[in-house]
Structure 1
Amino acid sequence: MITASEIFSIINDDSFFENVFNKDMDWDAELDARDAVEFDRAWNASYEKVNEMDSSENKIIKDIREFAFKQTFRITQNSELAGYTSDDLGLISKVYENKINIEFIQQLWDSYLQGNFPK
């Protein structure tokens, strides 16, 4: 299982955010798709499970969240999308940092690694 530091190294690659967001997409529609009951329920359940175990955020996770927000906003000029991305990568990092196995979070991370915004 990777660490938050390793995640930060991966997303720090110039192509990471470009691969996910430098596309001609209707980002508002992509965000709306995440409001589907199944995705929303899985995301929130994962968030609750992780925060029950550890409600704090260490410096590396805060740095990941800030970097993700800024890079997403730089490419898309969409602050809502940047916020979702920041939340996703913060949650992903926290899960890996605490060595928690949540299949939904693995799928979320895999989606980003494949250059897709999860929905």
Structure 2
Amino acid sequence: MESGFASLVSELRQVKELFARSLEDQRANAAAAMEDRRLDRISREKIAEREILYRKNATRESIDSREEYMRLFGHDVQTGVLVPPATTTPKSSTADDSSETVPPIIDGNTLVD
């Protein structure tokens, strides 16, 4: 009977050791999985930061090109209002033959001569 009991105790010890190893493996796998998730999160955050910087730069470039476009086609960059071209003064019979071009003065949204 003692040999059966000793055999049973030996088997229980082996099961206990296997269970302990399995538990250690599970803990190690869980820790590795947590580390992988942490690294993935950091990677996603860095990608998001790069995307934000890219969008900011793209916005700056589009603003620069929009301002250039507005200047090219005669718009006031600050207000977006179309600025009329320079006007010429009408010739009068008493004025000399030289006509001068007088640029308009813009005061807010009104044209002042």
**TM-score, length-scaled by structure 1:** 0.21
Greater helix proportion? 1
Higher relative contact order (CA 8 A, sep 6+): 1
Could you say which structure has the higher strand fraction? 2
The structure having more radius of gyration, on CA atoms, is 2
